[in-house]
Structure 1
Amino acid sequence: MEKATKISPFRLSTLLRLETNPQIALQLFRNPTPTPNPSKPFRRSARSYDLIVCKLGKARMFAEMENVLHEMNRETRFAAKEALFCRVISFYGRARMPAAARRTFDRIPSFRCRRTIRSFNSLLHVTLGCGDLEGVRSMCRDLDDYGLTPDACTYNVLIRAQVLAGCIEGAWELFDEMRSKGIAPTVSTFGTLVSALCANSMLDDAFRLKERMLTEFKVKPNAYIYTPLIKGLCKSGELDLALQLKEEMLSDKDLVMDSAVYSTLIRALFRVNRKGEVVGILEEMKRIGIKPDVVTYNAMISGFCEDEKDFDAAFETLNEMVRQRCKPDVVSYNTIIAGLCKAGRWSDASELFDDMPRRECCPDVVSHRILFEGLCDAGEFRKARMVLDEMMFKGYKLGAVNMRKLLEGLLSGEKDRILVDSTLFSVAKANGMGLEDWETVVGNIVTEPEKLKVAKLLACLSMRSVVATGTKLAAALVAHNN
């Protein structure tokens, strides 16, 4: 019999690094030797712990990851590094589990590891990424309690939080504060501010800040600075200036261009009826080695559908994407479906909608709503009802405006009164509308006080544990009919 190969701690780390399946990696970590020796347990290295924790975290196998961390905490030969906990915090952030991320940050000292501003910034970034602006403010108030000093990364997150809250003034105050503390702004700092200024049509201020980057702070603009500026110029109708700014980018040999700039310009060229220049843009991209991505193609599809009404060209763009091994996404199809519906070609829109799964792209809630609205606008209310049934089956909700449009269309003929009732009951069973939507819809479409129907509807609503909704719905019916 062939003798089993002995695995050293170093060899285990190598095997863990090479293993792509997290389940197998965990088995290997648990049982590194084929014949364990109870009197001489295998001593895993800190590197092995780091590798398996990261693999489990990326795979969102959090229970297993926590077990490994618990074992690691019992190790006396080494202490965990703060960088590992930063990664764990990020894993929880990507899974939108901010409470678990906070617990990880709080227990770092229990691993004989000193917390620094680095792990604080990781938690701050996760908190902001989960949309908890108040949590971000609360953490900043606790900075002194942790004995930590903010750095540029801290301020970058805080400035971004102010921008997301719609407070540009607060962002500027933080910018001034970091400078007063001797903390040099980074290109990320300027990128956040420039994007906010452009989004609020403050282009002159954005360009002045771009100039200050170079002259006052000696920070060189990158693509993330230029892109919002070009988008802002295109939005304000200054397309020629946007093209000039693109040339400025090209003249800088150290600046890495990306497809975002070109996608913005392509969409703008379609809007101002300069489609002929798009070919030149695509050729330039090819010449400098930038491959069109899904955003670039979607910009072209949007131009063909919304501006040119050239659906043959839009479908050809889809085919070109497949040829170039760039998979169309749901936005690609939704854009064409919306264009077809607006052009009154609901049959073609329905056909493309049904064909999406075969094209390896499943319709999302937006796809359903676009087709539903298109069918209602075309007077195809029974077909719209079928789309509604599919939406309810998938757990998608429909707003009051669209539901009212369907019901009013069905009510346009007396023969559809039964279909109206069945539609109401179906939506009630699926809990397919919120309370306010129910009040709006029912108050507008019910024309006679039919208590039996109210009772049936209330029963359906009770089945979904929304009795309060049913009570208010009954009140709306009574008020409407009185």
Structure 2
Amino acid sequence: MKPPKPISPFRLSSLLRLQKDPTLALQLFRSPNPNFNPKKPLRYSLLSYDLIISKLGRAKMFDEMEQILHQLKQETRFSPGEIIFCNVISFYGRAKLPDRAIQTFESITGYRCKRTVKSANSLLNALLRCGEFEKVRETFLGIYKDGTPDACTYNILIHACCRIGSLDDAWNVFDEMKRRGVLPNAVTFGTLMYQLCMNLRLKEAFKLKEDMLGVYGVKPNAYVYTSLIRGLCGIDELSSAFRLKEEMVRNELKLDSVVYSSLISALFKAGRKEEAFGILDEMKELGCKPDTVTYNTMINGFCKEKDFEAAFRILDEMVEKGCKPDVISYNVIIGGLCKEGKWIEAKDLLEDLPRRGCAPDVVSYRTLFDGLCHWKQFKEAAFILEEMIFKGFAPRSASITKLVDGLFQECNLELPLTVLDSLGKGNLVDVDTWRIMVLMACKKEKLSNSSKVVDTLVIT
């Protein structure tokens, strides 16, 4: 039997690519040949460095990733490519670590790697993800040290302007882009179009759509059409929205669930819910499978019409079609039931969620708790409060005040003590709640005994 051969650099890269567990991948990288002569360490390839850095970055194992980067910095046989650092900057952006992203960008030249506009764009996008708009501006002002801004650069700036709600600044960036001879692309127009439609500036949006093809030679894509359709639905221009949908079909653009969900929502709003089922049939004919968003839109429409039987039928249909309802599906129904005073049904549904394979979230509990307080079901509200705090969820402060005020009116001291105990466990007792509790105690008991009652509240 031949003795096993040591792992080669090429083989290590293959093994790293196959290894899904980042911790095991790191162990493999650090010690690929534990049973062989340690005096002849493996000469790592650049691909191996790239693979392990990417795996650690995706897993947010940043300290370990930095250790590998430090090791890479000591390599003299090759210089790493800029793409490695672009990826690292992106990992830090997704993790909302802007300072680390900046440090990585500034360290690139220390690896004998030339910075270009690509890494600058990666940094701009990471800062945008982190909401560091001032640092986006500062980075752009210094970008000429590393290269000339390209379409990606300006698209990020336009997106940043839109994020802070400054559409005028976005247009100014668009104008500068043109002055510098940088051609806008589909992303540029899509970002501007989305913001125009969000602000219901549909006339300008349609003018921009015409200019895309007529002036700039850029064909409108599905994202542009989707923004326009959503905008039209927002102002109840259903006929125009359906015409755009047909135009998408003629242009052989793929319609997704967002388009259909927007149309379904608008149909319900216009009192044309019967046509919504026709939309579902059309989706199936065109090979666009209804997803959770589509069904949730239907559920929301029926709940607004107080047709809860139909909403539950949609839930059943989702399961039959292999589309698992999510917590939003149930929260919409719980909210609708509470709004109509059907708090018993809402409470039963929340309790049934685990059996349905869906864990209630903070919105589930807050919605039911708010509904119970609104309908003055304070005893039930107190039970839900205790359960939600036990699960680590905090109610809205306004709802706590409503509950405590309601208990004050009922002059029932036993239940308020239970509520105070629950709030204390969640560290949710504020000055106003404490004041009302003391007043309630003084009102219930004789004034001469109020200090004794207050002591009871403090002990509780």
TM-score by length of 1: 0.88
Match of 1:89 in 2: 89
Code of the aligned partner of 2:157 = L
Match of 1:472 in 2: none
Code of the aligned partner of 1:318 = L
Q: Partners in 1 of 2:137 and 2:77 — Cα distance?
A: 38
Give the alignment partner of residue 304 of structure 1, picking from 302, 322, 341.
Answer: 302
Give the alignment partner of residue 269 of structure 1, picking from 246, 255, 267.
Answer: 267
Tell me if the contact between 1:160 and 1:171 (Cα under 8 Å) persists in the aligned partners.
yes
Code of the aligned partner of 1:322 = V
**Pairwise CA RMSD:** 2.3
Q: Partners in 2 of 1:140 and 1:374 — Cα distance?
A: 49
Encode CA deviations 1:240-266: one digit per residue, 9 max, x unaligned. 11111111111102x232211011111
Tell me if the contact between 1:392 and 1:432 (Cα under 8 Å) persists in the aligned partners.
no
Q: Partners in 1 of 2:418 and 2:352 — Cα distance?
A: 28
Q: Partners in 1 of 2:456 and 2:133 — Cα distance?
A: 44
Match of 2:445 in 1: none
Cα distance, 1:458 vs. partner? 8.4
Q: Partners in 1 of 2:393 and 2:71 — Cα distance?
A: 43
Unpaired segments of 5 or more residues in structure 1? 461-482
Q: Between Structure 1 and Structure 2, how many residues are aligned?
A: 452
Tell me if the contact between 2:389 and 2:425 (Cα under 8 Å) persists in the aligned partners.
no
Q: Partners in 2 of 1:280 and 1:426 — Cα distance?
A: 49
Tell me if the contact between 1:222 and 1:256 (Cα under 8 Å) persists in the aligned partners.
no
Cα distance, 1:132 vs. partner? 1.8
Code of the aligned partner of 2:72 = M
- Report SS of the residue matched to 1:357: coil
Q: Partners in 1 of 2:379 and 2:104 — Cα distance?
A: 53
Q: Partners in 2 of 1:375 and 1:8 — Cα distance?
A: 67
Encode CA deviations 1:259-318: one digit per residue, 9 max, x unaligned. 1101111111112121221222112211221111111111111112123x2222222222
Tell me if the contact between 2:16 and 2:28 (Cα under 8 Å) persists in the aligned partners.
yes
Q: Partners in 2 of 1:147 and 1:24 — Cα distance?
A: 37
Match of 1:207 in 2: 206
Cα distance, 1:410 vs. partner? 1.4
Q: Partners in 2 of 1:153 and 1:423 — Cα distance?
A: 55
Match of 2:366 in 1: 369
Cα distance, 1:430 vs. partner? 2.6
- Report SS of the residue matched to 1:305: helix
Identity of aligned residues (%): 51
Cα distance, 1:441 vs. partner? 5.4
Match of 1:110 in 2: 110
Match of 1:463 in 2: none
Encode CA deviations 1:146-200: one digit per residue, 9 max, x unaligned. 3432211111111111112111111111111111111111111111111111111
Match of 1:431 in 2: 427
Cα distance, 1:365 vs. partner? 1.5
Q: Partners in 1 of 2:266 and 2:274 — Cα distance?
A: 12
The answer to whether structure 1 residue 318 and structure 2 residue 287 are counterparts is no
Cα distance, 1:456 vs. partner? 8.2
Q: How does 1:152-231 map to 2 (within 5 A)?
A: 152-231=151-230
Tell me if the contact between 1:267 and 1:303 (Cα under 8 Å) persists in the aligned partners.
yes
Match of 2:64 in 1: 64
- Report SS of the residue matched to 1:292: coil
Q: Partners in 2 of 1:281 and 1:355 — Cα distance?
A: 31
Q: Partners in 1 of 2:72 and 2:255 — Cα distance?
A: 44
Match of 1:239 in 2: 238
Encode CA deviations 1:302-360: one digit per residue, 9 max, x unaligned. 112123x2222222222222233322222111101111111222111112112222333
Cα distance, 1:96 vs. partner? 1.7
Tell me if the contact between 1:400 and 1:440 (Cα under 8 Å) persists in the aligned partners.
no
Relative distance call for 1:458 and 1:199 in structure 2 (3 A) is farther
Cα distance, 1:233 vs. partner? 0.8
The answer to whether structure 1 residue 285 and structure 2 residue 280 are counterparts is no
- Report SS of the residue matched to 2:413: helix
Q: Partners in 2 of 1:49 and 1:13 — Cα distance?
A: 9
Tell me if the contact between 2:385 and 2:422 (Cα under 8 Å) persists in the aligned partners.
no
Q: How does 1:285-434 map to 2 (within 5 A)?
A: 285-307=283-305, 309-414=306-411, 416-424=412-420, 426-428=422-424, 430-432=426-428
Code of the aligned partner of 1:267 = S
Q: Partners in 2 of 1:453 and 1:343 — Cα distance?
A: 38
Cα distance, 1:2 vs. partner? 5.3
Q: Partners in 2 of 1:446 and 1:178 — Cα distance?
A: 64
Q: Partners in 2 of 1:89 and 1:58 — Cα distance?
A: 12
Relative distance call for 1:147 and 1:396 in structure 2 (3 A) is same
Q: Partners in 2 of 1:177 and 1:43 — Cα distance?
A: 48
TM-score by length of 2: 0.92
Tell me if the contact between 1:400 and 1:441 (Cα under 8 Å) persists in the aligned partners.
no
Tell me if the contact between 2:79 and 2:113 (Cα under 8 Å) persists in the aligned partners.
yes
